[in-house]
Every structure is written in structure tokens, then in C-alpha cells.
Amino acid sequence: MQAIDINCDLGESFGVYRLGEDDLIMPYITSANIACGYHAGDPVVMHATVELACRHRVAVGAHPGFPDLMGFGRRAMSLSPGEVRACVLYQLGALEAMARAHATRLCHVKAHGALYNLAAVDLTLAKALAEAVARFDATLIFVALAGSCLVQAGSWAGLQVAQEVFADRGYRDDGSLVPRGEAGALLQSPIEAAGRVRALVTSGVLHTVGGAELPVQAHTLCVHGDTPGAAAFARNLHQELRALAVPVLPLRQVVMS
Amino acid sequence: MQAIDINCDLGESFGVYRLGEDDLIMPYITSANIACGYHAGDPVVMHATVELACRHRVAVGAHPGFPDLMGFGRRAMSLSPGEVRACVLYQLGALEAMARAHATRLCHVKAHGALYNLAAVDLTLAKALAEAVARFDATLIFVALAGSCLVQAGSWAGLQVAQEVFADRGYRDDGSLVPRGEAGALLQSPIEAAGRVRALVTSGVLHTVGGAELPVQAHTLCVHGDTPGAAAFARNLHQELRALAVPVLPLRQVVMS
Amino acid sequence: MQAIDINCDLGESFGVYRLGEDDLIMPYITSANIACGYHAGDPVVMHATVELACRHRVAVGAHPGFPDLMGFGRRAMSLSPGEVRACVLYQLGALEAMARAHATRLCHVKAHGALYNLAAVDLTLAKALAEAVARFDATLIFVALAGSCLVQAGSWAGLQVAQEVFADRGYRDDGSLVPRGEAGALLQSPIEAAGRVRALVTSGVLHTVGGAELPVQAHTLCVHGDTPGAAAFARNLHQELRALAVPVLPLRQVVMS
Amino acid sequence: MQAIDINCDLGESFGVYRLGEDDLIMPYITSANIACGYHAGDPVVMHATVELACRHRVAVGAHPGFPDLMGFGRRAMSLSPGEVRACVLYQLGALEAMARAHATRLCHVKAHGALYNLAAVDLTLAKALAEAVARFDATLIFVALAGSCLVQAGSWAGLQVAQEVFADRGYRDDGSLVPRGEAGALLQSPIEAAGRVRALVTSGVLHTVGGAELPVQAHTLCVHGDTPGAAAFARNLHQELRALAVPVLPLRQVVMS
């Protein structure tokens, strides 16, 4: 049975503003995607979040986004490929400095919000993103929405690609996410989520809301950190996977296997 | 005769805004202090400026400042030592990413504006700054106002310290700069500046506006890049130093000697 | 017996970040100091907060701060008087637009955080602040720390001044606040706070932690909105004042009486 | 013969960064569109630019843009209608405060960059923009690209609409601008521009690069302030129009006539 990693977006507080339950979620994940100060996070928050991840022996990854704190990086912005490359390099370096100050290094990169979503369907943008990562450090793992342009771009740039499935989101028969607000968009039950994950890692198929089974190779599961009950969901998912004998391992080990 | 380095603050454009004549000054300097996006600079500008420095074989250094673009980092801000450490780490990493993308590395760090000026007289702040540099990369050279708290803090943090003298600014008998606006604040003539530099490197003394000779060990001269005629000043200073047989060398070589 | 107003800093959320329990506190206050996008708040938050205040018939006031979202306006910054004037004008206008869109107008101005604290002891800064308010709208009430430079500056600018006492903070014998972190800094009990307020409005004296009675004319009480239990404190204070027959009235009525 | 107004985007400096030749252009225009701190401009710049406009008796208008200083508001951003309304209200109010401090008032509003361009072809966005203006001050003149959704939205919101033609840009036969970079995108000669304007105001037709004559009712001409030679272009255009006996009048008078 293939192993799987669990990742979560963390370090999204800013200044006096608190977001997410980072300390409660850390015990149940293997990869932390840490905001880099553009869509969220600030130097003090980044520093503290890397420290927290190290304490929990969770792999540190960068979570770069658009320069739009007011919109939390969720608003599409039309940056040129050159702007994307530079903005991503900037954020990777900024987080690497925090990692270095804690005697660790970045392990992976996963883009945030609108940058991730746009790049998933825009190969030019995805390549700009992947190129920045490869130029920064060609050994970083590139986290990509399973089956999207991000996967293609990561390979093109010579990066190891980790395909991602959202643990708590419903999928449509074409492999896209059920939009938030529609029925089936969110899986409420960690048991249901865990069952779907088991099918993923044992049979390599993703169950859709329509009842179809999509062939998907998943390396990492995303759990959300900023929703109410996020920590409980993560804990339960983790337990269910253990009960199902699905190995939960760091991303590096998963993609290597 | 001791050699000397010439440094200049560069990469201080932002978005559509242009500042300084970076391309004209590069031929006459040996160290570029590149803004890191807090007081000036943005990822695209930083990327281009590192590229420009590499083309001119000028050493790349970081020029971190306060998070105050509106005030160009010239307004004092009361950051805690922890905030300073984190903000400096952030900026160092961001610029290092640009250097890495050009297959080079940072060579030195020089703080900007109010951060530099406050740290020059506040040992706690200076130590926070130096500590961030040392934790990021203990081989970086720490540029410090000659005789200031910055020198002390750099040594305390175990960094190599390069003492800096401003080529175009007048000094008072107590070693402080003649405040801008007062007579003698600015040396207009590169010849006068070069003469003063020769005294610095041959006799180790700095001529003040009052006629005194202060004992100073100078490793690097700062020329300003954002004043009218900056490139001409740098060119003339460079020529005068050559005429005086003062070796102008990269900072690493100067501090090693 | 003199009436008193109760004010609270509100609208300090930003983007996805929530701060304070604005909707829970509104029923118990008469003046809302709404953040203007510099230290906190964004246009959407400002718009919603004005709407909320209108629904509760709470007077809308501006709460301008330093341009430092990362530091929540709590870090001292050395702005020139001209910069302060312009920054305050900017923020007043921005909030006035939100008021106008809800068919209401600004009633008062109270500076935030470091701007307020610095201006309380720096007459030049206080005058710059008051001058901006007067130039914007000379009928606005200027909220000032009782006995501070802000009172003096407001009068100098020809503004009506409302002297403020912090309901939940301890005062020293010299009229200054007991610093946070020291014993007596925070009054835990709304009953104790209400008793102190009664002495204020009946006898015009402020009880200090040292047992002294300072003569103070107080027009408005500040309750904090971002501390745990803030809404409960405000509700209890409001009830205690009613029980003590202290009239709680809008600021305009208080300063007019 | 119909009169015409000449408008220019001004006040686009920021902090230490200078952009445009505002003082040289002021003598030749009748309407100043002043940046409001989101895509460009800061409180000090806004204050000074309003003062400059008043000295030249040029009508003051707001030039709101997307919150994207790094991209100068030229990058498309997907803001919701509610976000657009709030962001525009914010900027209008901020500039109105500067006007009020100079005993004047806003006369018109013209959106900037990507906000203007997107709203020109997106009626929902254009309505959000126009609605914000109408709620702020229903007597403001709404400057709209001739023939675009902006015209429609302004009328829908009950605003007086001023149709705008770009003096120095070539138009295609379908009424759209020749994209920058293509032949004919920029009219180099003020004489050619003036001739085209004369056709506009005498015959109500716009000459296209294809030789067609589009029926267009133009109230205002845009001259650019940030291109080299902008002031000379504006001066020459102004002179040519006088020579052609085309009345150059303030926007209010033009739309009223």
C-alpha cells in the first residue's frame, strides 16, 4: 500500500491577527506549508511557525501567494511570468532564512490560493512558478493539484512533483473540485474522508460525488487549518488512516517510494 | 597602503518608480547594497539589480531596512529586538534567493536609513541586527559605521566587520556626521573626497571639518546613488584613488588583509 | 451629576482577519472609534462597521493611526508634523466616505496607539493632529487623554475637546497609567470600574492606585474591545453606571453640557 | 462648436519616488485626476497635488485604482462588486479630505488603469464603481471611456457622464484603442492630435487609424503625464486647440453645455 503525506497551510497569522490553530494541528500532519508574508504571515509569525514545525518534526515548506494581504491571496491578479518568478523567489528566500535560523531547510513548495488555482489551469503561469522553485533549489518537492497543469510544469522544470488531493473537499467526475457553496463541496466526516483516502492509496482511485472512480496517484492530502474544527478533523483523519493501516509519512519518503 | 572598497546603495526602485542611476554607478564600485523590498525595492527590481551587479562583477550585499516604503525607511520605528531579527532575516533570505537564481551568493550586509542610524547608537538594536546576520550566514561581512555600536555588535556576533566611512559627507570632531543642511555636510569635490580617503588609507586618520584628525580604520567608502551627479562623483572618486595608488578592492579582500 | 460617554475602538479587523467582538459591544457604548485602514481596518470592514454603528445608533468617529499594519499602529514612528497632518486627513476622509454612504457623518476623532500616546506627551505632534482635524471639520470633537498635551492641542486648534479616562486601567498618582504588566494596571471588576467612574462624575476626582484623588474632568470612558471578556465588561459597566444613576449619553451631549 | 476639457492623471508620486511633471502640465489642463494612495500617491503627495491644482485653478478629481502599488494599478485583480464599492469610497473620501483642507471640493472621478479598463468592458464592475461615486456625491462627474460600459453605468447611477477620448492614442475602426506596441498606437504629433480633436468637436467624429470616422461625443481629452515630453505635448495641444478656436473649458461647463 502506498504511503501518504498530510499537509496543511499554516503560519497565516499577521501582526496582532491570529488565524488557524497551528499548534493543535501540528501533531497530525507531516508537511507544513508556511505563508511567506505576501498573502499572509509576517517575519515574526514565520519565525515562530518554523520553530513550531521543527518542534513537531514536521517538514517545512513554502506557501507563496500573490502580494495581496487585503484579499488573503484569494483574488486573481494578472502578473506576468517574470513577476511571478520574482515574487516566488522572494518568498522562498524569505522563508528559507527562517528555516536556516532554525538549522533546517525547506522541503517543499505549494502555492497559495489564487496563484495555485490559476496555475492549475494555466501552463504558462505554472511554468513560471515551477521555474522559480527550480532556480531556487532543484531538490524541492513541488506540490501540485493532482492532474493539473502544475504537475506538468513541475516535471518540465525537473522537479519532483507531489500530487495533492484535498481530504475534505468533494470532487466532480471531471476531477475538478465541487465549488464551495454547492452540495458535496465539503466532506464533513473524517471517516468518510479516510475511506476515500484508503481507496486512493490502495486502489489509486478517487471517488467522486457522482460515484465515479478517477485514477489518481496521490502523494499528499491537504487538510485546512482555518476552518472551525480543523484540528479535530486532522486528528480524526490521522487516526482513521492509522486504523486502515495507511502509512502516513513525510512527503520526501512518499515521493521517493 | 591599505586597500579600500567602494559601496553604494542600489536597487531602490519600486514598481514603475525609478530611483538612482544603478547602471552608471556599477562600473565604479566594488560592493552593491541592494534594497530588499521593505524600505525600497521589489522582487523584480531585486532580481534585475543582482543581475546587473553580477554583470559588473560587483559583490552583492543586502540592504535591509524598516518596513516603511512610504518613508523610504528613513523614519525611526520602535521595533523590538525580536521584530528586528525577524525582519532582517526575512530580507536577507529574500535577496539571497535572487542571488541564488544568478548562481551567486550574498557577500555582506549593510542596514539602511533609520535602522542603520538607530543601531549605530543603540547596542541592543545593533546586536539584534548582527545576530540575525550571524544566524543567517556567519560568513557574511557586517558593514558598520566606523566607531559605532554596529562595530561592537558585529564583533559580538562573531562576524567580520567592515568599518565604513561616507566618502561625500563631512565629519565633526567627535566622529559624527555633519548633519545634512549644515555647512560642510556634503563634500562637493571628488578630489577633496579622494584626498581625505588617501589620508584614511595611508595614515589611518579621518580629517574632520574642524581640522582634526581622527584615527579611523576604514574598510569601505560609501558613495550615494540617488543624488544628482552620483555616477560622476563615483567615477571621479574612483579615478582619483587610482591616481593616488590607493587599491580599490572587493570588501572580502579588504577585510581579509 | 455630569453625564458620561462610553467609547470603544472598533472595526479593527482586516481582510480575512477578525479582531474584537464589535457586534457584542455596540449595545453598551455611545461612541465608536473606527479604524481607518492604516493600523487596522480595510474599506470593506470600515463600511460594515459604520453600518453596524448606525444600526445601534452609536456615534461614528475616526480612529486614525500610524501607517503600520504589521505593528497595529503600536510602534512609535517619527513622522514629521506635515506627514502626520496629511496621514490624518487621509484617514478622516476615508472614513467620512463610509459615513456618507450610510447617510451619517463623523462625530469625533480619537487617535490610535502610538500616535495617541506620543501626541499625549508631544505638543508639536498633538498640534499637527488637532490641526488636521480642524481643517477637515472644525465641528468634530477631539478625544484627548485627560490632562495631556492632546487637550491643550485640541483647544489650540479651536476644537471641542472630550477628556478621556480609561475605564479598565489603573492610574498612578501623577495621572499617568500604570504600565501594562505592573500590579494594578488593569481593573478586573466592572463594579470597581463603575465605582471609580461614579467618583469621576459626581466629585470630579479620579482614584489612583496609590489612594490619591486626582481632580479630572472626564467626558468619555474608554473600554477595550479586543480583550477577552470585553463585551461582558462593557455590559456590566453600563449596568453599574445605570444603577448608580450616572447618565450615559452621546459624546456631543456630554461635551455640550 | 462644442467645448472640450483636457484631463491628466497626476499626483502619482509616492514617498521619495517622483513620477510625472505635474507642475509643468498643470498650465495646459482643466481637470486633474489625482491618485488616491492605492495604485500611487500618498497623503503628502495628494495634499501637495491638490494645492498645486488649486494654484492653477484646475478642477480636482479623484483617480481611484486597485490596491496594488507594486503593479501601479495596472494589473487586473478580481475584486467583488462590494470590494470595489468600498475601495472606491475609501479613495474618494481620502482625496476629498485633501480638497477640503484647501477649501475646495472634488469635481469628477476617473478610475485608473486596470480598474478603468476592466470596468470599460464589464458592466457589473462599472456599476459598482459608479454606485460608489453616486453614494459618495451624486453631483460628481463620472469620466468614462467613450462608448464603453462606463458610460452606461454612470447613467444608470444617475451621474453626469463625461465621455473621454485619449488625445495621443490611435483608435481602431471598432472604437477600441490600438494596443501599445502596434503601429499607430501613439500619436506623436500634437498637430495631428489637435486636428483629430477639431473633427471631434466640430463634426462629432473620431478619425481611426483605418481612416474611418466614428461618431463620438467627447467631453474630455486625456493627455498622459508620465511619458517623456508630456508637458510639451500638452502645451502644444492646448495651443493648437486655441488656434483652431476650439474652446477648452472646465469639465463642468462642458458637460452642462
Which of the residues D66, D68, D72, D90 would you substitute to probe the A interface, choosing the one with the greatest number of A C-beta atoms within 10 Å? D68
Average pLDDT over residues B94-112: 98
- Kindly calculate the radius of gyration of chain B based on its CA atoms and give it in whole angstroms: 17
Query: Tell me, what's the pLDDT at B189?
Result: 81
Q: How far apart are CA B59 and CA D245, in angstroms?
A: 61
**pLDDT confidence tier of residue A158, bands split at 50, 70 and 90:** very high
For the segment D169-179, the average pLDDT, to the nearest whole number, is 90
Alpha helices in C37-148 (DSSP H): 43-55, 81-101, 113-121, 123-136
Question: Phi, psi at residue D131, to the nearest 5°?
Answer: -65, -40
Q: How far apart are CA D204 and CA A181, in angstroms?
A: 50
d(CA C61, CA C6): 12
User: CB contact, 8 Å: B77 with chain C?
Assistant: yes
For the segment D77-98, what is each residue's pLDDT rounded down to a tens digit?
A: 999 999 999 999 999 999 999 9
Q: Cell numbers of D206, please?
A: 473620431
B81: pLDDT confidence band, cut at 50, 70 and 90?
very high
**Could D75 and A71 be called an inter-chain contact, meaning their C-beta atoms sit closer than 8 Å?**
no
Contact B154, B147 (CB under 8 A): no
D14 vs B contacts (CB less than 8 Å): 14, 17, 69-70
Instruction: Look up residue D169 and give its DSSP letter.
Output: B
Place of cell 571628488: B190
The beta-carbon neighbor of A94 closest among B83, B93, B101 is: B93
Neighbours of chain A (3+ CB pairs under 8 A): B, C, D
Gyration radius (Cα) of chain C, Å: 17
State the DSSP H helix or E strand holding residue D145, giving kind and residue range, or none if neither. strand D141-145
* Per-residue confidence band for B256, with pLDDT thresholds at 50, 70 and 90: confident
Closest CA to A13 of A173, A226, A192, A242: A226
Q: Is B135 on the interface with A (CB under 8 A)?
A: yes
Give dist(CA C238, CA C234) in Å, integer: 6
Q: Is C77 in the B-facing interface, judged by CB distances under 8 Å?
A: yes
B100 has a chain C CB within 8 A of its CB: no
Residues of C in contact with B114 (CB under 8 A): 78
Give CA–CA dist B75/D252, Å, rounded: 42
How close, in Å, is residue A230 to chain B by CA atoms? 28
For residue D158, count CB atoms less than 10 angstroms from its CB and return exposed for 0-12, middle for 13-18, buried for 19 or more.
exposed
- D34 pLDDT band, cuts 50/70/90, is very high
Q: How far is D80 from chain A (nearest CA, A)?
A: 9
ipTM summary value: 0.95
pLDDT of residue A257: 79
- pLDDT the model gives residue C115: 98
Percentage, residues of chain A above pLDDT 70: 100
The answer to whether D81 contacts chain A (CB < 8 Å) is: no
Could you tell me which residues come within 8 angstroms of residue C114 by beta carbon, excluding any fewer than 6 positions away? B78, C65, C66, C73, C74, C75, C76, C77
Quick: pLDDT tens for B116-136.
Answer: 999 999 999 999 999 999 999
Q: Is D215 exposed, middle or buried (0-12, 13-18, 19+ CB in 10 A)?
A: exposed
Chains linked to D by 3 or more Cβ pairs within 8 Å: A, B, C
The H or E element containing residue B93 is: helix B81-101
Beta-carbon contacts below 8 Å between A and C: 29
The more confident residue out of D189 and B36 is: B36
The contacts of residue A220 (CB under 8 Å, 6+ apart) are: A4, A5, A6, A7, A31, A143, A162, A163, A164, A165, A251, A254
Residues contacting residue B134 through CB under 8 Å, at least 6 positions apart: B140, B157, B158, B159
* D46, D86, D100 ranked by CB distance to C136: nearest: D100
End-to-end CA distance of chain A: 11
Asked if B7 and B248 touch (Cβ cutoff 8 Å), the reply is: no
- B66, B70, B72, B75, best to mutate vs chain D, most D CBs in 10 Å: B70
Cα A204 from Cα A252, distance rounded (Å): 19
- Mean pLDDT for all residues in chain D: 94
Residue C38 near chain A (CB below 8 Å) = no
C184 interfacial to chain B (CB closer than 8 Å): no
Query: What's the pLDDT score for residue A145?
Result: 95
Helix (H) or strand (E) holding D69: none
Across the strands, what pairs with A222? A7, A166
- In which band, very low, low, confident or very high, does the pLDDT at B2 lie, cut at 50, 70 and 90? confident
Nearest Cα residue to B97 out of A158, C5, C213, A85 = A85
Q: Measure the CA–CA gap between C181 and C201, rounded to whole angstroms.
A: 28
- Dist CA D91 CA D84 (whole Å): 11
What average pLDDT does the segment D158-165 reach? 97
Q: Which residue has the cell 486625456?
A: D222
Q: Give percent of chain B with pLDDT exceeding 70.
A: 100
How far B112 CA sits from the closest chain D CA (Å)? 15
pLDDT tens digits along D200-211:
888 999 999 999
> Which run of H or of E encompasses C11?
none
Judged by DSSP in three states, D190 sits in helix
CB A128 within 8 A of CB A85: yes
Q: In Å, what is the CA distance from C149 to each residue of C134, C146, C154, C156, C163?
A: 16, 9, 9, 10, 11
Residue-level pLDDT at B34: 98
| Subunit contact C85:D137, Cβ cutoff 8 A | no
Tens of pLDDT, residue by residue over B145-171, are 999 999 999 999 999 999 999 988 999
Considering only CA atoms, which of D129, D108, D104, D109 is closest in space to residue D118?
Answer: D129
Q: How far is D45 from chain B (nearest CA, A)?
A: 11
Angle at D33 between CA D32 and CA D34, to 5 degrees: 100
B76 lies within 8 A of chain C by CB: yes
Q: Which helix (H) or strand (E) holds C207?
A: strand C205-207
Give first-to-last CA distance, chain B, whole Å.
Answer: 11
B200 three-class SS: helix
Q: Do D93 and C89 touch (CB under 8 A)?
A: no
Residue B245 pLDDT greater than 80, yes or no: yes
Cell 506576468, residue?
A: A80
User: Among B38-42, C35-39, D196-200, which stretch is predicted with the lowest mean pLDDT?
Assistant: D196-200
Q: Which phi and psi (to 5°) does residue D247 adopt?
A: -70, 125
Instruction: Give the DSSP letter of residue D111.
Output: -
* Higher pLDDT pick, D64 / C175: D64
End-to-end CA distance of chain D: 11
Residue A215: closest CA among A224, A202, A225, A234:
A202
Confidence of residue D167 (pLDDT cuts 50, 70, 90): confident
* Predicted pLDDT at B257: 78
Asked whether residue A256 carries a pLDDT value surpassing 90, the answer given is no
A73 and chain D in contact, CB less than 8 A: no
C94 in A contact zone (CB under 8 Å): no
Taking the Cβ of residue B68 and every Cβ of chain C, the question of whether any pair is shorter than 8 Å is answered with yes
Average pLDDT over residues D22-38: 97
Q: CA-nearest residue of chain D to C48?
A: D86
Q: How far is CA B185 from CA B9, B115, B209, C122, D202, in A?
A: 19, 21, 9, 29, 60
Cα D147 to chain centroid, rounded: 15
Contact C90 D136 (CB under 8 A): no
Measured distance CA(B148)–CA(A239) in Å, rounded: 58
Q: Is the dihedral of CA A35, A37, A42, A44 positive or negative?
A: positive
Q: What contacts A125, CB < 8 A, 6 or more positions away?
A: A81, A84, A115, A118, A119, A149
Q: In this predicted structure, what is the pLDDT of residue A192?
A: 84
Helix (H), strand (E), coil (C) string for chain A: CCCEEEEEEECCCECCECCCCHHHHHHHCCEEEEECCCCCCCHHHHHHHHHHHHHCCCEEEEECCCCCCCCCCCCCECCCHHHHHHHHHHHHHHHHHHHHHCCCCCCEECCCHHHHHHHHHCHHHHHHHHHHHHHHCCCCEEEEECCCHHHHHHHHCCCEEEEEEECCECECCCCCECCCCCCCCECCCHHHHHHHHHHHHHHCEEECCCCCEEECCCCEEEECCCCCCHHHHHHHHHHHHHHCCCCECCHHHHHHC
Is D42 part of the contact surface with chain B (CB cutoff 8 Å)? yes
Q: A226 pLDDT exceeds 80?
A: no
- Structure confidence at residue B131 (pLDDT): 98
Q: Distance of CA B61 to CAs B105, B129, B244, D124, D235, Å?
A: 8, 15, 27, 48, 45
Q: Which residues of B touch A37 (CB under 8 A)?
A: 90
The count of C-alpha atoms lying within 13 angstroms of the C-alpha of C119, restricted to the half-sphere facing its C-beta, is 34
The verdict on a CB contact (< 8 Å) between D70 and B17 is: no
Local confidence pLDDT in tens for the 257 residues of chain C: 789 999 999 999 999 999 999 999 999 999 999 999 999 999 999 999 999 999 999 999 999 999 999 999 999 999 999 999 999 999 999 999 999 999 999 999 999 999 999 999 999 999 999 999 999 999 999 999 999 999 999 999 999 999 999 988 999 998 888 988 899 898 878 788 888 888 888 899 999 999 999 999 999 999 988 777 889 888 988 888 888 889 999 999 999 87
Across the interface, do C72 and A42 touch by the CB < 8 Å criterion? no
pLDDT of residue D197: 86
